[in-house]
Amino acid sequence: MQFLELSQSDTFTMSERKNIANLWERLLEHWQIAGVEYFVDALNGGIMKKTAIASKQQNGIIDTPQSHTNIATKNFTAGNAEIPNPDNTYQQVRDCRNLDDLRNLVSNFEGCPLKNTATNLVFSDGNPKSKIMFVGEAPGADEDRMGKPFVGLSGQLLDTMIRWINLDRENVYISNVIYWRPPGNRAPTTAEISSCMPFVEKQIALVNPKLLILVGGIAAKAVLQKADGIMKIRGQWFSYQNMYLQNPIPAMAIYHPAFLLRQPGQKRQVWRDLLAIEEKISTFSRE
């Protein structure tokens, strides 16, 4: 049996707590997949099964005001058996100060099974100091081989789209919501996305762009957490926030280049969206 202790510390604002509540769900899902069966409620001193957590959240016991959920590592005993420390990756993500350290953490992370079938970690490409960050879905075969996002056919079209707005790979930053190639290029599962999300959120906060562009429906859904599909939300401005960011970032979802390769008639829409993005970028240079 494996245990994970969830404790409360620090003081956070209301909006931070909303993000924390989302993180809670993802953490619980991640650890359950990793084989954790019971959760130790450090506030109330009890051990609870995952099924008991939902009612505790409803009663406001877990997401308590002015508190931040935090993973603490500690040894537990069950009967006479010493239970090994749970992984403290999420604590490390929170404390991570730069992209090199974050890349290192991701490359040592064992919580996403895609790592076992992939050839390379695909972390990012482009300029980490850029004001414009693109976040796509997941690496394909070419990206897996090269260890860089968007280097295959979709990547060539993405480069063209980036050039439409007078930019190139040297002045944008590119990553994905998944760091390893799903076998056979299948869509990543919710659990795979959840396992990578804390890193993605931290990566966005460390780059701290002025503009976030979600490439395709999967990235848009994972990052913006909207129920509506890409057809509905593309081209709209959203205010993106996560628990690591000081300030919200304007964000827009656009069609994925792989979709445009299949449906070139949709390029008109993406062209319109890119013009809106170009207009927004021009306001930065006026600041």
Question: In angstroms, what is the minimal distance from the CB of 172 to ligand URA?
Answer: 14
Closer CB to ligand URA, 215 or 223, in the complex: 215
β-partners of residue 251 are 212, 238
CB 37 within 8 A of CB 49: yes
Does 143 contact ligand URA by CB under 6 A?
A: yes
Closer CB to ligand URA, 138 or 205, in the complex: 138
Location of structure tokens 């003081």: 11
Closer CB to ligand URA, 111 or 140, in the complex: 140
Closer CB to ligand URA, 5 or 144, in the complex: 144
d(CA 77, CA 266): 58
Does 136 contact ligand URA by CB under 6 A?
A: yes
d(CA 76, CA 39): 12
Contact residue for ligand URA among 137, 192, 201, 273 (CB under 6 A)? 137
Question: In angstroms, what is the minimal distance from the CB of 226 to ligand URA?
Answer: 18
Does 149 contact ligand URA by CB under 6 A?
A: yes
For ligand URA, the nearest residue by Cβ is 136
Q: Which listed range, 10-18, 28-36, 143-151, 198-206, lies at the site for ligand URA (CB under 6 A)? A: 143-151
Does 192 contact ligand URA by CB under 6 A?
A: no
| Binding to ligand URA, residues 212-241 (CB under 6 A) | 215-216
Q: Which listed range, 52-60, 83-91, 139-147, 220-228, lies at the site for ligand URA (CB under 6 A)? A: 139-147
Tokens standing for 212? 């976030």
CA distances from 281 to 76, 93, 209, 216, 260 (A): 52, 30, 11, 20, 23
Closer CB to ligand URA, 40 or 157, in the complex: 157
Question: In angstroms, what is the minimal distance from the CB of 153 to ligand URA?
Answer: 9
Does 138 contact ligand URA by CB under 6 A?
A: yes
Contact residue for ligand URA among 92, 124, 176, 195 (CB under 6 A)? 176
Q: Which listed range, 32-40, 91-99, 133-141, 165-173, lies at the site for ligand URA (CB under 6 A)? A: 133-141
Question: In angstroms, what is the minimal distance from the CB of 246 to ligand URA?
Answer: 27
Binding residues for ligand URA, rule CB under 6 A, total 13
Q: Which listed range, 52-60, 101-109, 146-154, 242-250, lies at the site for ligand URA (CB under 6 A)? A: 146-154
- Where do contacts with ligand URA occur on this chain (CB under 6 A)? 136-140, 143, 149-150, 154-155, 176, 215-216
